[in-house]
Amino acid sequence: MEEEKQENDNQNQLDQTSKTEQSQQEEKDQKTDEGLDDTTQSSVRTYAGDIAGLIKKGVTLSDVALSEQKRKFGGEKEAQLISEEKVRKERAKKIITAGTAFIILGLLVVGSSFFLKEEDEISDVLEIPSIIFSNSNKEISITDLNGIDTLQKINRERTVIQGPLGNVTNLYLTTGEDMNKRILTAENFLEQIEVRARGSFIRSLENEFMFGIHSFDGNQGFLIFKVSSFDNALPGIIDWEKTMIDDIWMMFYNVKPTVNIEEGAGAGVIQKGFEDELVRNRDTRTLRDSGGNIALIYSFPDRDHIIITSTESTLIEVLDRLTTGRFRN
C-alpha cells in the first residue's frame, strides 16, 4: 500500500511540475507576443499617433494646426518661387533672343543701307553725261595715262567703233577704279590732254561735256562743251585757235592734217588760221588744210554751247540733235 501511495505522490509531483513548466512557457509566450505587438505597433507611426504624442507633450491642437499650415504654406511658397524662377528664366531667354534678333536686324539694315548708299554714290559718280541724244555709250578709262596716251586711246576707240550710218556713240572718259571711279569734267579733260588754251577759257566751261562719234563717211569725232560764261569763252577759244589743231588733232584724225603756217614761225602756229563761214545760216570758225578741206570747224549754236568737229556734215547732225532733239536715220 505504501508503495502504491508513494508512486501516486511521485506522479502528482510530476504533473505539478509539468503544469508549472507549461504555465511558465505560456507566460513566456504571452510576454513574447506582447513584446512583438508592442514592437510592431511602435514601428507603425500614424498621423493620429503623432498628434496624440504631441498632445501628451503639452502641445495644443491649435499649435499643431498652425504648424501644419506653415508646413503647407512653405511647400506652396517654394513651388511658387520655383515657378516664378522658371518664368523669369523664360522671360530672360525671350528677351535675349529678341535682343539678338534686333541686333542682327539692325546690322542687316545698316549694312544694306551702307551698300545701297555705295551703289547710289557709284550711280551718282557714273551718271553718264550726254548733252545730245546718243544711240549708245562707251566708257574709256584713262587711269594712269598721260596726255599723249589719252589722245592715242581716244583715237583707237574712234577708229574701231562700228555702228549704223548716222548713229552717234557717246564716249565718256573715266579715271580711277571701283568706288574711286569718276567721270572727267571738261576742265579735267582739257588739263589731261594738256591743251594750250587760256585758263579763263577753261574756267568758262561747265563740268559737263561730251565727246562723241558720228558714224558718217567713216567715224567722225566731235566735242560739245557747255558754257557758263560766254564773254570769257568766245575770246578764250579764239586765242586757242593758234594751237588747237596741234592740241586735239588725234581725236579726229589718224594723221595730222597739213595746214598753212607762218613761214619761219614755230611749229603749230597758224598763219592764215580759222576763218568765218556760214553753215545752215550759223556762224562758224573753220580751219582748212593745204588742200582746201575742212580740218577743224567750231560754232556757238547759242550762248550756252560750243561744238568742235572735223566735218560740216557732223556739225549739222550735232546741231540738229542739240536744237531739236531729233536725229536722222
Average pLDDT over residues 97-118: 63
The backbone torsions φ and ψ at residue 284, rounded to the nearest 5 degrees and listed phi first, read -135, 165
**What is the C-alpha to C-alpha distance for residues 16 and 236, in angstroms, rounded to an integer?**
164
Confidence band for 52, pLDDT divided at 50, 70 and 90: low
Task: Say if residues 316 and 280 touch (Cβ distance below 8 Å).
Answer: yes
**What is the C-alpha to C-alpha distance for residues 64 and 166, in angstroms, rounded to an integer?**
113
Confidence band for 106, pLDDT divided at 50, 70 and 90: low
DSSP class of 179: G
Model pLDDT for residues 121-131, shown as the tens digit of each residue = 444 457 888 89
Model pLDDT for residues 188-234, shown as the tens digit of each residue = 999 999 999 999 999 999 999 999 999 998 899 999 999 999 999 99
pLDDT at 305 over 90: yes
Query: Which DSSP string do the residues of 156-178 spell out, in sequence order?
Result: HHHHH----TT-EEEEEEEES-G
Q: Where are the domains of the chain?
A: 2-36, 45-125, 136-324
Confidence band for 105, pLDDT divided at 50, 70 and 90: confident
- If 0-12 CB within 10 Å is exposed, 13-18 middle and 19+ buried, where does residue 89 land? exposed
Model pLDDT for residues 230-288, shown as the tens digit of each residue = 999 999 999 999 999 999 999 999 999 998 755 444 555 445 789 999 999 999 999 99
From start to end of the chain, where are the E strands? 136-141, 168-175, 182-183, 205-215, 219-227, 275-279, 282-288, 294-302, 305-309
pTM strictly above 0.75:
no
Confidence band for 85, pLDDT divided at 50, 70 and 90: confident
Centroid of chain to Cα 107:
10
